[in-house]
Structure 1
Amino acid sequence: MNAQRFTQQNVCRLGLLYALWALMAVSVTPSQAVASEDAWNTGCRRKPTIVLVHGAFADASGWADVIKRLQRQGYTAYAFANPLRSISGDAEYLRYFLGTLTGPIVLVGHSYGGAIITNAATGNANVKALVYIAAYALDEGETISEANTLGGGHSELSEHLILRPFPGGGTTDADAYVDPAFFQELFAADIRDKDAAVAAASQRPAAASVFDEPSGPPAWKAIPSWYMVARDDNAIPPEAERFMARRARARTVEIRSSHVAMISHPEAVTELIFKAVGCR
């Protein structure tokens, strides 16, 4: 009788232990809960559209290797043609482009493109994440020239610009190009010499006025952000990149890269985009 009672009691205890174990197995730990919140596109039921925004002295072709990797994973990606005329005007241009898309969007900006996504995404409920690749995550009222000094950094880029007039620029504005003699050193030190020479020859200028135009309300205050710091960047000081990333409370990675990380390290850039998406 005692033996029978002992067996029954232990069976009950074992049943309770198994039930507790099963509950623990499906419970979500705090870290998992954060990851779950980040994975807003749970289970990839609908993959977001990835919109890639290039910066000054470059064009949309710089995203080519990133786009190939995104497309292999089944994502729709667009490399937006940034006009490079003004922060407010370029952001409005992007805002109109985004208005033609349906469903969730992840915005990725490189360099000056970061200033544009910061402004264009404000108030757009479809934009679920911002990804900054060695980019300007400006605060309201801040200029690019001011941002270059954040964290005690210093950029020599402005000292090696060639200015050329353009129609309507008058005496107050001009097209700014990086002097080809300094382009690789400042912009693309870790890509092949011949590729850097082609990039220098084919660079698209930005209006010089963009560097001193105050930015609008930043989208990163409301939209989750990711940031890639390029440690060997000679265009935007890495110290400034770290400062902007911290201020935006961005999930941040650092790599040994020149300013053009999407060209020299497309796999790392794509991986950061995947992290922002939250699924593959």
Structure 2
Amino acid sequence: MRVVFVHGACVRDGSWWWHRAARLLQERGVASVSPALPSCGEAGVPPGAGGPGLTEDVAAVRQVLRDGDAPTIVVAHSYGGIVAAEAAAGVGSVRHLVLVSSYLPEIGQSLSEFGDGTPAPFLDVDPDTGTFGVRPELLVDTFLQDCDSDVQTQAPAHLTRQSVQVTGQPVGAAAWHHVPSTYLVCTQDKGTPARLQREFARRAGRVVELDAGHHPFLSQAAAVGDLLLSLQGTRR
């Protein structure tokens, strides 16, 4: 088995965000990888108007999923659920989708349809550059309040601005229709409140709740690792 981690919006260096869960999996002989998302500037092209968007993110993740035939669990966080919905569709090696405080879009839905039409207060949107990002001064209190000081200190260096066009681009496929799925509700999440997560999770085949903030793979890596290891025998 292998695990493919798909990180959320406005961050870069996915391997850092997932490193605690990835280390625990490695100790149990499970390999993992976190693809770079072009819309976050991780492919050498700066994010912004006319730059990479959802299509490029989907292609990047899909390429990694097709690189090998080992049974694969796709773990998507927040915006990553939008990407994974299309990227994992029709890939035979994908055995399970795990959505962490994330979205399960239907075909034709976009990220913007999961909000109320106004930018979240913790986001800074710049129409001139066509980018958006997390307000650094709100990062810890909104997303990392249950993480230790090491994570809280290091995390700002792994933020980035992202192309705002990803919020309005619809997905062309919905892998959760055909692939078993588990939704991990993070009950202490201040970015995406639990009540909203539970609404999103209605489309998942199974729902698990964890008393954690937005990044449980950093604050409670063992719990996340155990969940993923429990899915090793998943069959389609």
Whole-angstrom CA distance in 1 between matches of 2:152 and 2:172: 33
Aligned to 2:122: 160
CA RMSD for the aligned pairs? 2.2
Query: What are the ranges of 5 or more consecutive residues in structure 1 without an aligned counterpart?
Result: 1-47, 166-170
Q: Runs of at least 4 residues of structure 1 off by over 6 A?
A: none
Q: Does 1:140 align with 2:107?
A: yes
Whether the 8 Å contact between 1:50 and 1:108 is mirrored in structure 2 is yes
Whether the 8 Å contact between 1:108 and 1:130 is mirrored in structure 2 is yes
TM-score, normalising length from structure 2? 0.84
Superposition deviation, residue 260 in structure 1: 0.9
Superposition deviation, residue 180 in structure 1: 1.0
Query: Deviation string for 1:133-181 (max 9, x for gaps)?
Result: 11122112222222235xxxx9x9622323458xxxxx5x622111111
Superposition deviation, residue 56 in structure 1: 1.3
Equivalent residue in structure 1 for 2:4, among 26, 29, 51: 51
| Bigger mean CA offset, 139-148 vs 255-264 | 139-148
Superposition deviation, residue 217 in structure 1: 1.9
Equivalent residue in structure 2 for 1:218, among 171, 174, 183: 174
Query: Deviation string for 1:194-226 (max 9, x for gaps)?
Result: 632431243022211212222222100000001
Equivalent residue in structure 1 for 2:187, among 208, 218, 231: 231
Superposition deviation, residue 193 in structure 1: 4.7
Aligned to 2:164: 208
Q: Does 1:196 align with 2:196?
A: no
Superposition deviation, residue 253 in structure 1: 0.9
Whether the 8 Å contact between 1:54 and 1:79 is mirrored in structure 2 is yes
User: How is 1:61-100 mapped onto 2 (pairs within 5 angstroms)?
Assistant: 61-84=16-39, 85-100=52-67
Whether the 8 Å contact between 1:141 and 1:215 is mirrored in structure 2 is yes
In proportion to residue count, which structure has more helix?
1
Whole-angstrom CA distance in 1 between matches of 2:222 and 2:115: 27
Superposition deviation, residue 123 in structure 1: 0.9
- SS of match in other structure, 1:228: strand
- SS of match in other structure, 2:9: coil
Whole-angstrom CA distance in 2 between matches of 1:261 and 1:55: 13
For the structure 1 residues 275 and 160, does the alpha-carbon distance in structure 2 shift closer, same or farther, using more than 3 Å as the test? same
Whole-angstrom CA distance in 1 between matches of 2:170 and 2:196: 17
- SS of match in other structure, 2:151: helix
- SS of match in other structure, 2:137: helix
Aligned to 1:265: 220
**Bigger-Rg structure (1/2):** 1
Aligned to 2:135: 179
Query: Deviation string for 1:211-250 (max 9, x for gaps)?
Result: 22222221000000011001111222322211222223x2
- SS of match in other structure, 1:131: strand
TM-score, normalising length from structure 1? 0.72
Whether the 8 Å contact between 1:226 and 1:272 is mirrored in structure 2 is no
Number of residues of Structure 1 aligned to a counterpart in Structure 2: 220
User: How is 1:7-26 mapped onto 2 (pairs within 5 angstroms)?
Assistant: none
Whether the 8 Å contact between 2:95 and 2:180 is mirrored in structure 1 is yes
